[in-house]
A and B are shown apart, each in its own frame.
Chain A
Amino acid sequence: MANGELGYAAVDLQRGAIAILDPDGNVTWADETWATEENETGLPGVPIGANLLDAYRSRGETIAQTIANAIVAVFDGRATYFEIEHRPNGENGSAVVTSVAALRGNRASAVVIHRGVGVRPAITARTPDVRPRSGELIGNAIERLTPRERQVLDFMAAGLDNRAIAAKLRIQYTTVRGHVRAVIEKLGARSRLEAVARAYQSGWVAKQ
């Protein structure tokens, strides 16, 4: 990594912790829980300011070595970041690392270049693609949209904001607002983006 670039992100999305490393491998900041849960079985706690690589290399467990390897991959430029997946470990409230993956790219379109398996195999693949769904949860919601609302939904799905939609359709901004609220409500969504996601998942809006 070139000196001065943004440090590496080590992300544990399931646990809600994230640390960014400086070019020397030191944790420049981290979620408090990441830093303090040293005694949590199977989870790699490293105090803020400690050297992440040294911390894992010095530990004998296979999983710690796997994490160290992932960090090295990042430092060598073979990976952009790494992710740790884990799950609760039954009754004692601890957690087990299920896999460590070194990835290249960003979190929207990353390629796994190395995955090490932890105590148990990872159960799920990482971020799924947008999958067409049958729409059974929403019923015939799309049919309740007026032709104008369907037009508005198409523009929402293209990422346009209300002002841009108003300009495209040559109608009042306030009218667009009303259509957007109606679309969200009729699709049973809680938000603008959830309505868009449902439209894609149900195949109402074609993937471009």
Chain B
Amino acid sequence: MEKKSVCEEKNFELIFDDCSESLRNIIYYKCGDLNLAEDIIQDAFVKLWKNCKKVVFYKAKSYLFTVANNNLLNHIAHKKVVLKYEQKPHTELNDQDPQFIIEEKEFMAKLKKAIDNLPEKQRETFLLSRIDKKSYKEIAEITGVSVKAIEKRIHYALVSLREKLGDIL
């Protein structure tokens, strides 16, 4: 195992580069509040810096996640989550008839709502995988659970989405 010290600024920045975005997203997927998510990860990184001697380099990611997660628990009494996304332009839609475009928009709205309604852990895992393109192993590393558990969460998230959207598919 590498013996990089988190206390060295270049190593600290390496960790930041590597995982600050996905951490921000995890917290965002959990709480649906972008500003809160960024505040929380900033605090987590500052705490990592303060405790840099106690944290081993390769454990830093899961440390950050744990700190951010605990911090989040202090903040919210589980409000209803409504996530917002940047949406990629739908190339196929450009030349379609207006009826189809409307149906497509409705579907997207329902899909988003269905995702919002997933249990928190399924939601964060599913989105980290599908949007952030993180491998199951990486997600397992960050959240500190087994790959198997991640696979189950993904599986059930998808089953759940399929059920909720069943009537319009």
| A pairs with B | no
Which residue numbers of A lie inside 8 Å of B, CB to CB?
A: none
